[in-house]
Amino acid sequence: DAGITQSPRHKVTETGTPVTLRCHQTENHRYMYWYRQDPGHGLRLIHYSYGVKDTDKGEVSDGYSVSRSKTEDFLLTLESATSSQTSVYFCAIRLAATYEQYFGPGTRLTVT
């Protein structure tokens, strides 16, 4: 358990509304990541952060933005949700000096 929580755990929203998902960690890890999991695609990287205010795009970043104003929180925002963003979203941290990432419990997002 790497002390990662995600909120909300479940959310249903309508097309066109903004949505923010929160990832919170308690162990001061520098690196944080957001992935989405979809059938047939495994996990795909959306955005990642390598420090406070330091973020970059991943493989599937279109339609998503992130912010990291303090070490413990990494926020993922869908500016205007679309049905294609219905997915399960996972946050992860990476231990320093390793390549191992540890994941939060996930947020199931449904866009109707």
Partner 1 sequence: DQQVKQNSPSLSVQEGRISILNCDYTNSMFDYFLWYKKYPAEGPTFLISISSIKDKNEDGRFTVFLNKSAKHLSLHIVPSQPGDSAVYFCAASIAGGTSYGKLTFGQGTILTVHP
Q: Which residues bind partner 1 (CB under 8 A)?
A: 4, 31, 33, 35, 40-45, 48, 50, 56, 58-59, 90, 92, 94, 99-106
Contacting residues for 92 by C-beta, under 8 A, at least 6 apart: 4, 32, 33, 34, 35, 101, 102, 103, 104
Q: Which CB atom, from 41 or from 70, has the smaller least distance to partner 1?
A: 41
CB of 59 to partner 1, least distance (A): 8
CB of 104 to partner 1, least distance (A): 5
Q: Give yes or no for a contact between 15 and 102, defined as CB atoms under 8 angstroms apart.
A: no
Q: Which CB atom, from 104 or from 109, has the smaller least distance to partner 1?
A: 104
Q: Which CB atom, from 81 or from 106, has the smaller least distance to partner 1?
A: 106
Burial grade of 88 (CB within 10 A; 0-12, 13-18, 19 or more): middle
Q: Which CB atom, from 6 or from 85, has the smaller least distance to partner 1?
A: 6
CB of 16 to partner 1, least distance (A): 28
Q: Give yes or no for a contact between 24 and 5, defined as CB atoms under 8 angstroms apart.
A: yes
